[in-house]
Amino acid sequence: MQYIDFHTHTPPEDKKHVRAIVSCVAPEPLEKYENGNLFSYGIHPWYTKGHDIGKLLAHVRDMAHFNKVVAIGEAGLDKLKGPQMGEQKKIFCYHIEISEEVKKPLIIHSVKANNEVLRLRKKMSPLQPWIIHGFAGHPQEMQQFVDAGFYLSFGPKILYHNNRASESLAEVPDDRFFLETDHTNKTISGLYDRAADIRGISLKELEKTINKNFKTIFD
């Protein structure tokens, strides 16, 4: 099996079987990680207090040009934590501009802000893929995002029964989803096992589907 962990904060121990995108938060240095990892880079809306935002954004722009940085983010909007929504939107829009400039996908953090993210997508008409990480909404929300051209990455919430994330994963189109461990101690292999069960397919079929989606975005 070749697993893809679309969004994590910890490099995989098993690099032979796990290909991961490690999320780095500005101004975190990439040098602390071993070579051979893939990264996303951005300003998380939680971690802006006490920082010079202009300097952080300039740092994101610089890091965005590195080959090992394959995506921008995570960046986005959070109504439960972080600065005022107006400030969050300004920072998020800057990430959108960088994503378009360097032609790399945008990984999005959205908490209680799905409508705002959908409106920004419509307003800005980006050419690069947008991926909602840790999606846990109900199937109607899932369909809204899919219809708007988003990809969705499902995290550890699918491990629990009878929840919206599992319901949405069961119905999301084959060509629109990924799996991730995020900032947890869960294994990507465990998520694959659960996702295959939810979708009623074999692990091999799931592996093929996610690998194909990954190539569509990055190749």
C-alpha 110/C-alpha 35 separation (Å) is: 30
Element (H, E) at 176: none
Element (H, E) at 156: none
C-alpha 191/C-alpha 172 separation (Å) is: 16
The encoded tokens of residue 112 equal: 């209680």
74 labelled ligand-binding: yes
182 labelled ligand-binding: yes
- Classify 197 as helix, strand or coil: helix
44 labelled ligand-binding: no
DSSP 50-85: TS-HHHHHHHHHHHTTSTTEEEEEEEEEESSSSS-H
Q: Which residue do the tokens 């899932």 mark?
A: 142
133 labelled ligand-binding: yes
- φ and ψ at 86, to 5 degrees? -60, -40
Burial class (CB in 10 A: 0-12, 13-18, 19+), 176: middle
Amino acid at 94: Y
Q: Which residues are annotated as a binding site for a divalent metal cation?
A: 74, 109, 133, 182
Q: Which residues are annotated as a binding site?
A: 74, 109, 133, 182
